Amino acid sequence: MIGPQPVAVASAPLARRNPVAKLAAALLFSVVLIATLDPVAPAIAIAVELAVLPLFGVRYRVLARRAWPLLVSAVGIVVTLVLFAAERSGRVLVEAGPVAVTSGVLLTALGLVLRMIAVALPGVIVFATTDATDLADALIQNARAPARFAIGALAAFRLVPLLGQEWQAISMARRARGVDAGRNPVAKLRLFVSTAFALLVGAIRRGTRLAVAMDARGFDAGVPRTTARRQRFTAADALLVAGAVALGGAALTASILLGTFRPLIG
């Protein structure tokens, strides 16, 4: 959904914030929304998320292009629930054969979909506005993540785009060797599994070589590491996190005041 390169305008006021602050803000904002099953709180949250989007330097058009799989799965959930949900309370809106669409079903489906979007969007925004290297740096410097983990993951992440090319190369090599599946679905599955296995073997070999090269340059050798790129966690970053908590809380409060609040537990 989100490529390895940020897609936002890097100089936007909130895009420039510390990656750890952005991540914390997104997580805290989402956690609040998971607490309720009603459609009102997530609807308010989505409105808030869309409203702050320009502050992160993300254009609406870019977001729509990047987040379309999210919308597709949202539609899928609505259709599935409307057709198959066991709960059939409320007024019947449409009746077609065995399918009866009731207001209760529609409300549940809507609540679920809005929650999914509201929880996913902050993550989309964070990764659209954050460079992977900056995130690893900030995780090490501001969140005390072990460098072994953060830099290791970053290096592995860099090899991911190669996997697509590798898959193609393996598939073509197999065809050249006389291996194809034709129209037989079982053979297709077997070919898929064996191609995936070859890809995995290649990825492990490459990963091992990379690990040796990193080892040779003193990675994780027990010497305290210094940092070439400084990441600072400033008052503005703290403010972003506080703002996210406040807005999430406000959405929840509104839902309680309107009487639609349905706690997840209890």
Residues that bind other proteins (CB under 8 A): 4, 131-133, 151, 154-155, 158-159, 161-162, 166, 169-170, 172-180, 182, 194, 198, 201-202, 205-206, 209-210, 212-221, 223-230
From the CB of 132, what's the least distance to other proteins, in Å?
A: 7
* Backbone dihedral angles phi then psi of residue 126, each to the nearest 5 degrees: -60, -50
Looking at the DSSP bridge assignments, the partners of residue 95 are: 100
Under DSSP, is residue 263 helix (H, G, I), strand (E, B) or coil?
Answer: strand
User: What token pair was written down for 129?
Assistant: 């506005």
Contact 125, 1 (CB under 8 A): no
Residue closer to other proteins by CB (options 31, 172) is 172
| Residue number with CB closer to other proteins (24 or 147) | 147
We find the least distance from the C-beta atom of residue 59 to other proteins, in angstroms, to be: 23
Please say which residue, 103 or 227, places its beta carbon nearer to other proteins: 227
Of 46, 39, 109, give the one whose Cα is nearest residue 77: 109
At its nearest, how many Å lie between other proteins and the CB of residue 176? 4
Taking the least distance from each CB to other proteins, the nearer of 168 and 234 is: 168
As a whole number of angstroms, the distance between CA 228 and CA 152 comes to 17
- Asked if residue 126 lies in contact with residue 23, where contact means CB atoms within 8 angstroms, the answer is yes
Q: How far is the CB of 170 from other proteins (least distance, A)?
A: 6
The DSSP H or E segment spanning 234 is none
Q: In angstroms, rounded to a whole number, what is the distance separating the alpha carbons of residues 106 and 129?
A: 34
Rounded to an integer, what distance in angstroms lies between the CA atom of residue 92 and that of residue 165?
52
Of the candidates 13, 5, 25, the residue with the CA atom closest to the CA atom of residue 241: 25
Q: Which is nearer to other proteins, 222 or 266 (CB)?
A: 222
Cβ at position 38, least distance to other proteins in Å: 42
| Element spanning 95, H or E | strand 92-96
Q: Which is nearer to other proteins, 4 or 69 (CB)?
A: 4
Question: Is the Cβ of residue 88 or residue 148 nearer to other proteins in the bound state?
Answer: 148
3-state secondary structure of 133: helix
